[in-house]
């Protein structure tokens, strides 16, 4: 293992300490560095809380800020945060309008968020939950509830955050978040493994000339392992799977996220977007919003994912709205 760290067991807390020192607009509560919150909660606004394992920056905590999220419970690398950490964050971000829980579809996260939500409701904090499940590779049509939440959760954060910033009520923020969830699809490809600091060795092996289509962000198995193809062919495989589940008509609009998994150069991500754009042009679908970069990584894994959100007149203004966090800036339209 070759990493720039001190003790592997201090990796997460030292990372968080660095973020707090660099970005005073976020802070922590309850004496716990892993209870990560905005330093300026807005009275009367719905609070939005996310959470999950470290190792995916900027997901999850990187999207806490103006126009997006209000708090994040931070787990160890690829580990869920505790229910107590989630509850502490919930208490801080509740400003009288209730709290939306918004996180990925992983068993540990579900269990701990459910427990925290029950405890919060005992304290008269209203809770609603939306669970991201955008990864088309992780389950078949008809069993979408089994799908993992991956990079497409960015779109749900963006829409929910904009809705809350409009001071909409909790049920409406949750409805809009769930609508975006249902209209988002993601699929990725992995080219290399990653190393969890406290483990010190790769979590899986993949050949130098191989790729795995559909691998999850924790190294969960994909749908096929095969010889590495040219970029356009890889994107076509991804887009075929995403488009098989959509009903785009000519003239429809989408938002596109091309996400690097941690060790993929930005140049390669733009080669990927080039092909995504060509595919959508061929279908007569307009790409209204584009983000290319690292949004949900897997430590130093090489690879990328493509997320597509089907826009409509209700969702598009939420995606277009401005936002500002330590890891994301959008000036809005």
Task: Identify the active-site residue in 28, 92, 218, 310.
Answer: 218
Does the bond joining 191 to the residue before it have cis omega, within 30 degrees of 0?
Answer: no
* Catalytic (active site) residue 56: yes
Dihedral through CA 215, CA 220, CA 224, CA 226, nearest 10? 70
Count of helices and strands (H, E) across the chain: 8, 14
Strands 71-77 and 224-227: unpaired
Q: List, in sequence order, the alpha helices (H) in the chain.
A: 11-22, 83-93, 107-122, 153-165, 170-182, 231-243, 266-282, 316-320
Q: Assign 3-state DSSP to the chain and report helix, strand, coil percentages, each to 5.
A: 35, 25, 40
CA distance 328 to 140: 32
C-beta of residue 151 within 8 angstroms of C-beta of residue 295: yes
* Selection from 167, 153, 178 nearest residue 47 by Cα: 167
Q: What strands, in cross-sheet order, belong to the sheet with 224-227?
A: 224-227, 210-213, 184-190, 303-310, 253-260, 286-293
Task: Identify the active-site residue in 56, 289, 310, 330.
Answer: 56
* Catalytic (active site) residue 218: yes
Q: Mind telling me the catalytic residues?
A: 56, 218
């Amino acid at each position: 293992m070759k990493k720039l760290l001190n003790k592997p067991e201090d990796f997460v807390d030292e990372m968080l300490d660095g973020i707090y020192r660099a970005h005073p607009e976020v802070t922590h509560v309850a004496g716990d560095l892993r209870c990560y919150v905005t330093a300026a909660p807005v009275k009367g606004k719905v609070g939005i809380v996310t959470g999950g394992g470290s190792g995916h920056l900027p997901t999850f905590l990187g999207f806490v800020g103006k126009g997006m999220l209000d708090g994040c419970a931070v787990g160890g690398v690829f580990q869920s945060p505790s229910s107590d950490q989630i509850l502490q964050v919930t208490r801080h971000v509740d400003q009288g309008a209730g709290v939306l829980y918004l996180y990925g579809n992983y068993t540990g996260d579900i269990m701990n968020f459910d427990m925290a939500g029950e405890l919060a409701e005992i304290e008269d904090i209203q809770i609603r939950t939306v669970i991201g499940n955008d990864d088309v590779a992780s389950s078949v049509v008809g069993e979408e509830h089994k799908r993992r939440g991956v990079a497409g959760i960015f779109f749900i954060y963006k829409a929910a955050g904009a809705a809350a910033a409009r001071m909409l009520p909790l049920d409406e923020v949750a409805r809009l978040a769930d609508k975006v969830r249902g209209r988002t699809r993601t699929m990725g490809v992995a080219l290399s493994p990653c190393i969890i600091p406290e483990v010190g060795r790769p979590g899986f092996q993949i050949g130098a000339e191989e790729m795995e289509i559909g691998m999850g962000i924790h190294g969960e198995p994909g749908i096929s392992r095969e010889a590495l193809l040219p970029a356009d062919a890889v994107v076509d495989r991804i887009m075929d799977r995403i488009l098989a589940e959509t009903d785009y008509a000519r003239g429809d609009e989408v938002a596109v996220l091309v996400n690097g998994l941690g060790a993929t150069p930005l140049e390669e991500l733009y080669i990927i977007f080039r092909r995504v754009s060509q595919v959508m042009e061929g279908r007569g679908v307009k790409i209204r919003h584009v983000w290319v970069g690292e949004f949900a990584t897997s430590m130093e894994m090489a690879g990328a994912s493509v997320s597509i959100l089907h826009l409509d007149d209700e969702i598009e203004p939420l995606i277009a709205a401005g936002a500002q966090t330590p890891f994301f800036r959008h000036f809005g339209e």
